[in-house]
């Protein structure tokens, strides 16, 4: 493992018991990182990621926390730092949808999605950044003091009818990321977003699980295929590593061209 691009990096991935988070945790482990695999309720999914990292010769453990709970997040980051001796990378990935038309949406569903997708990312990024600033640049295996990756979505720029809470949360993540990047660059902390397009995971299963649904989804993807978890995990490895050391305050769209608005090829 020692020759991986993340050799010795101390990392935390939230929402890592499934989907993009699980794939990213495994990719980090295979790149030589130590990985704390956060989960909220699915311990089996988290243990699956831990086993995959260990099978590749790496080190990982599962850590429970609801990212919208400030005390739980503080305790989680403290535990990670105690166990690994610090933290070099956070992937604030945990997220959820509770969909409804704007006219029908309950305030509970509005608040829960904002709590997890936006406040949850803030709490994790704040707790990790405090430790990274205290460590300082070059103290760990990375050149920076740390790299924070916020998992956003193409819906940080594409409005999404029927998902007003989700789109608002991801729009918020964009300014959370940019503002933290501006504020923390002088302290050596890098902050960037990955904004995936359509990636095959549980969160959007109804959009790709039948051939008809997948065909309809492909109308939105110029590159001609629905994305997979490894497409996003590879981008996360790069943003976590020194290969992207001069990159901060940026959104990396991993979307097969969805944000080129393909319906405008023959219109407008």
Closest CA to 149 of 240, 47, 221: 240
CA distance 213 to 55: 36
Site for ligand NAD contains 40 (CB under 6 A): yes
Strand partners, 221: none
Site for ligand NAD contains 172 (CB under 6 A): no
Nearest-approach distance from CB 95 to ligand NAD, in angstroms = 2
The answer to whether 58 touches 34, Cβ cutoff 8 Å, is yes
Nearest-approach distance from CB 94 to ligand NAD, in angstroms = 3
Q: Is 166 a catalytic residue?
A: yes
| Binding segment (CB under 6 A) for ligand NAD, from list 54-62, 80-88, 92-100, 235-243 | 92-100
Write down the catalytic residue from 9, 39, 166, 253. Answer: 166
Judged by beta carbon, residue 93 or residue 144, the one nearer ligand NAD is 93
Q: What are residue 42's phi and psi, to 5 degrees?
A: -95, 80
Q: How many CA atoms lie within 13 A of 34 on its CB side?
A: 15
Instruction: Give SS3 for 41.
Output: coil
Q: How many CA atoms lie within 13 A of 177 on its CB side?
A: 31
| Binding segment (CB under 6 A) for ligand NAD, from list 11-19, 127-135, 177-185, 258-266 | 11-19
Nearest-approach distance from CB 246 to ligand NAD, in angstroms = 25
Binding site for ligand NAD (CB under 6 A): 14-15, 17-21, 40, 42, 66-68, 93-96, 116, 120, 151, 153, 196, 198-199, 201-204
């Amino acid at each position: 493992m020692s020759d991986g691009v993340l050799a010795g990096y101390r990392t935390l991935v939230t929402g890592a018991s499934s989907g993009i988070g699980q794939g990213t945790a495994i990719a980090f482990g295979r790149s030589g990182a130590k990985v704390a695999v956060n989960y909220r309720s699915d311990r089996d999914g988290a243990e699956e990621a831990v086993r995959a990292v260990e099978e590749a010769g790496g080190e990982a453990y599962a850590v429970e926390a609801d990212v919208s709970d400030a005390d739980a997040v503080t305790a989680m980051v403290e535990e990670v730092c105690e166990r690994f001796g610090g933290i070099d990378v956070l992937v604030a990935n945990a997220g959820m949808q509770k969909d409804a038309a704007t006219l029908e949406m309950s305030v509970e569903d509005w608040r829960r999605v904002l709590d997890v997708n936006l406040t949850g990312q803030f709490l994790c990024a704040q707790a990790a950044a405090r430790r990274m600033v205290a460590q300082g640049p070059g103290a760990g295996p990375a050149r920076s003091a740390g790299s924070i990756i916020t998992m956003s979505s193409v819906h940080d720029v594409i409005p999404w009818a029927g998902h007003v809470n989700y789109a608002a949360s991801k729009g918020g993540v964009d300014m959370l990321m940019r503002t933290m990047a501006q504020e923390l660059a002088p302290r050596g902390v890098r902050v960037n977003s990955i904004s995936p397009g359509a990636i095959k995971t549980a969160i959007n299963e109804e959009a790709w699980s039948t051939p008809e649904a997948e065909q309809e989804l492909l109308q939105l993807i110029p590159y001609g295929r629905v994305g997979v978890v490894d497409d996003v995990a590879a981008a996360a490895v790069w943003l976590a590593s020194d290969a992207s050391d001069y990159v901060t305050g940026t959104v990396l769209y991993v979307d097969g061209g969805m944000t080129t608005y393909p319906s405008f090829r023959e219109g407008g």
